[in-house]
Structure 1
Amino acid sequence: MAENRFKKKEKKSNGGGGGLGRGIFGSIERALKIGALFEQGVPVKFMPYGMFLAFLLVFYIWNTHYAERTTRKVNVLEVEVEDMKADYTTMKADYEVESKLSSVAKRVKDIGLIESPEPPKKLVVQ
């Protein structure tokens, strides 16, 4: 006698599951024939393009990091320049006050130098 076997039922695709359904992604996959292209692995003819894209990606990432690092350095240097400008302005004001005749006279009074009561004379050489 024959054995009892289950009858295989064919699944109806509703487009949502795997495979080439009737949905949007199934249509796109059928149009591009992506499955047939990569059935036996990645073709060697795509390797130069893939390597070029990988190089561009690495270069783009490196360039972004370099730009951010440079921006941080510029910001630090701008703060340092502002501090130096403030120091310069302060030192210049102090120098102007200290170089006045009255300030110099006060400092040299201790060593015995005094200010001349006569104005300076102009010498003319013929």
Structure 2
Amino acid sequence: MIRNSYRSGKRPARKKKQVSIFGVIEKYVNLDAFFEGGLPVKYLPKIVFISLMGIIYIGNSHMTEKNTRKIDKLQVEVEDLRANYTTLKASYMYASKQSEVAKSVKKMGLKESLVPPVKIQVKKSEY
């Protein structure tokens, strides 16, 4: 049985028809006329060439980005290695000073000579 119900003067909101990109393209570009006589094979080499060039272009840009990231990573590594080299070189230079060598050999029981070295001269007739 149908019931009587109160209806307001407003109708329920209608859903808007969603417009897609392909719908807009189909509206303005008449592709049916283009394919009326079948697939135009005469354009196939051009389409394949353009597709191939697009794939090569995309691959090239990916390879460039990959190489750029690799270069940045290697530059950071080189900076770290350069800092380590500088630190080790400074440490070596400090450890090879006469006073530091004297301190380290004192533990072995060696003493630093206080007498300067003497030059030995040999006559030509002796050798």
TM-score (normalised: structure 1): 0.67
Corresponding residue for 1:5? none
Q: After the TM superposition, which segments of 4 or more aligned residues of structure 1 sit over 3 Å from their partners?
A: 34-37, 121-126
Matches within 5 A, 1:1-126: 36-122=33-119
SS of the equivalent of 1:115 reads coil
Give the length in aligned residue pairs: 96
Shift, 1:35, TM fit = 5.6
Sequence identity percentage: 48
- For normalisation by structure 2, the TM-score amounts to 0.66
Q: Structure 1: which 5+ residue stretches go unaligned?
A: 1-24
Aligned partner letter, 1:111:
M
Q: Unpaired segments of 5 or more residues in structure 2?
A: 1-27
The residue identity in structure 2 corresponding to 1:72 is: R
> What do you get for the CA RMSD once the two structures are aligned?
2.2
Shift of 1:120: 2.7
